[in-house]
Amino acid sequence: MRKMALLATMLILLLAGTTQARDKDTLTSLARYYADDTAIYLSARTDEDFAPVLTDLVDRLRLFFPKDVPPITAEALLNMFAQQTAGGTFEATYGTWVGDSAAFGLTLDVDYMMASMNDMPPFFISVAITDRDAAMAFLDEQVSHDESGELIGYSLIEEGGLTIYLADESEDATYAVGDDVLFITPDVELLPREAVENPLAAQADFNETVALLPNEAYNILAYIDSGAVNRFSQDLSTAVLAAENTTNSGMPGMLQQLSNVQGVQAWGFVVLDGDTLTMDLATNITDTTLYDEAGISLTTLPALDTAFTTHIPSNALMVAQSSDFGPTVQMSLENLRRFSAFLDENGGLMSLIAVPREMMQPEEIVAMESFSLNSLIGMLNTGFAGLTGLNLERDVLPVLNGDVVAYLRVLPVEDFEAPILPDFGLMFQTDNAEGATMLVDALVDASAAYGTDFSVEAYGDAGAALNMPLIGESMGTRHPNLDLLFGADNGVFSFGTRPAVEAALSTEDNITSTAAYQAAQAYFLPNSGVLLYIDIAPLGELIDELIASGEIPLTAEVEQARTAISLLESATGTVTSIDPTSTIARFTLTLAETPVVIGGES
């Protein structure tokens, strides 16, 4: 065979599909060749219509880094690869027979892995083809022949409608060609010679989870049965230990059993609108028995209150927002209590992690047997009450019953040793104005009781803020931007550095009014309960100001860093609960159209 591996060839074919999208039906069509116990399935488009979009992305990168990104097109790269591996252009060698998708499927079989230890796992690759004769001709070109034309390293077999290039011990992979598919596998026994009786394509979990993916088309689609992966890992470990006559071979811990929860995920990768790299994730818990036994309740996260998002200032660099803060934290604590009771009834921490007693010191055994998760919750409540004078579950969580927002920004400062200072804010939505005021009053009382340096300021229309200059004192300096404030007014309880808390009540110059945020909103999932957002343009603008004022010297390194910052328009993450057992998430990275030219126009 020529100096190439067909496995590497197929990997390139898989990667070739990363810029143009195909509908989900196309990307799951090859699942009919894989059994329903396939734990990992990966599919991508393989036609060459992707080249223009990929070229556009490369050209965009060249605008930002002309010295680092060579002026080469996707077509040229593929033709170079095809010339080296198959002796022709991509269209002439692969394009004549490769169809619209390729897939990889892996079955997790402990007996198979134990029998072939240190060898390849049970997998095979399938490639949709449009011309059987052309695919056969391509394979025949790649394998070696002797002077009489006989195959070297392979035997040719016709079986079950397949033409099989059966590898001998000198070759790593066997190939098989059917009417509309090419298979590649390390083990001929894994080939689906006949129609699969119970295919992955007909499995309910597979179809339901893929259907949850929010986009209609993707470049790459993956499906993972995480429960099967966890069980395989444990079963293989047990089998290996048993083979080595290790005494712990049959002792799975409760923590391991809980990781066996029946769950599957579908992943979709796509480039949206030519500039937004997108990853979607759908998660489905298919059996809640273990959760039920452990007393863990599952719930649906409500949608965000987008009106609260308007309290985030427009120059925030990083933002995180989540709904239903108080009730969600309270439910988590209740889950911990029920799980603690379940744990205590089933052997405690020793049972949870299943460490053999003979491997532990006596004092370690005593510590583990006396440990209780419930006691940790008690310590949390006691410590919180001791510091603040408030009961977390009775006084605080019921008040902070709406959304929570955290954000970070960088602000210019004067009369300080550094030209900029970080500014962070944590804002809680509340419909209990009296309760929010009570929280600030209690913190003031606690500060007085502990003799802390503090002051109380007016805040908003009728609120109050506790000022604690802890950061400045720890740094041995004072600056208003370093003050830590707790404030409550107008339905907002806030904590952070002074500028952030002072800005928390304003909605005039907010992040939702920026062009970058408005553009990013097009990719938010509907009814999201979690939002992550990054916009580093404000940092770039601040750097420009500092360069213009001479605070930062314009070196080659600074110029390159500024260009890199201008490459990213925004990054986002949104999460939506479909029901207590089903969740979808989307993460995006949007590239800017043009770089920023320091001292000039973009």
Q: How would DSSP label each residue in 490-556?
A: TTEEEEEEHHHHHHTT--SSBGGGSHHHHHHGGGSPTT-SEEEEE--HHHHHHHHHHHHHTSS---H
What confidence score (pLDDT) does residue 304 get?
97
- Report the range out of 252-256, 276-280, 355-359 with the highest average pLDDT: 276-280
Residue 395 has pLDDT above 90, yes or no: yes
* Residue 5 banded pLDDT, cuts 50, 70, 90: very low
Residue 18 has pLDDT above 50, yes or no: no
399-to-214, 390, 435, 492 alpha-carbon distances in Å: 35, 12, 6, 10
| pTM score, whole prediction | 0.87
What confidence score (pLDDT) does residue 376 get?
82
Residue 599 has pLDDT above 60, yes or no: no
**Mean pLDDT on 383-388:** 88
Distance CA 508, CA 313 (A): 8
What confidence score (pLDDT) does residue 295 get?
85
What confidence score (pLDDT) does residue 2 get?
36
What confidence score (pLDDT) does residue 19 get?
46
Distance CA 256, CA 231 (A): 9
Domain ranges of the chain: 1-268
* Residue 597 banded pLDDT, cuts 50, 70, 90: low
Task: Look at 56-70, 199-213, 498-512 and tell me which has the smallest mean pLDDT.
Answer: 56-70
| Tens digits of residue pLDDT in 68-94 | 777 777 677 677 777 877 778 878 888
What confidence score (pLDDT) does residue 14 get?
41
**Mean pLDDT on 254-260:** 58
What confidence score (pLDDT) does residue 7 get?
42
Q: Alpha-carbon torsion 190, 193, 197, 203, what sign?
A: positive
Residue written as token pair 């952030």: 500
Average pLDDT score over the chain: 84
* Residue 476 banded pLDDT, cuts 50, 70, 90: low
Tokens of 533: 């957002």
The total number of residues written for the chain in this structure: 602
SS (H, E, C) 324-380: CHHHHHHHHHHHHHHHHHHHHHCCHHHHHHCCCHHHCCHHHHHHHHHCCHHHHHHHH
What confidence score (pLDDT) does residue 565 get?
82
* Residue 491 banded pLDDT, cuts 50, 70, 90: very high
54 versus 298: which is more confidently predicted? 298
| Tens digits of residue pLDDT in 175-226 | 999 999 999 998 888 899 888 889 999 999 999 999 999 999 998 999 999 8
What confidence score (pLDDT) does residue 352 get?
67
What confidence score (pLDDT) does residue 83 get?
82
Residue written as token pair 């921490």: 349
* Residue 127 banded pLDDT, cuts 50, 70, 90: very high
Task: Look at 46-60, 102-116, 245-259 and tell me which has the smallest mean pLDDT.
Answer: 245-259
- Report the range out of 166-175, 509-518, 531-540 with the highest average pLDDT: 509-518
Tell me whether residue 150 is exposed, middle or buried, using C-beta atoms within 10 angstroms of its C-beta: 0 to 12, 13 to 18, 19 or more: exposed
- 404-412 and 484-489 as β-strands: parallel, antiparallel, unpaired? unpaired
106 versus 93: which is more confidently predicted? 106
Q: Residues 6 or more apart from 394 whose CB is under 8 A from it?
A: none
Residue 264 has phi, psi (to 5 degrees) of -135, 155
* Nearest one of 559, 586, 588 to 574, comparing CA atoms: 586
Task: Look at 243-257, 371-385, 459-473 and tell me which has the smallest mean pLDDT.
Answer: 243-257
Query: Which residue(s) pair with 533 in the sheet?
Result: 319, 572
Could you give the percent of the chain with pLDDT greater than 70?
86
Distance of CA 560 to the CA centre of its chain: 28
| Tens digits of residue pLDDT in 407-440 | 999 988 887 777 888 899 999 999 999 999 999 9
Distance CA 311, CA 490 (A): 11
**Mean pLDDT on 506-512:** 92
Return the H-helix or E-strand segment holding 6. helix 6-15
What confidence score (pLDDT) does residue 363 get?
77
| Tens digits of residue pLDDT in 525-538 | 999 999 999 998 88
Tokens of 85: 């591996």
Tokens of 19: 């810029």
Residue 9 has pLDDT above 70, yes or no: no
* Nearest one of 483, 463, 377, 469 to 423, comparing CA atoms: 483
Residue 167 has phi, psi (to 5 degrees) of -80, 145
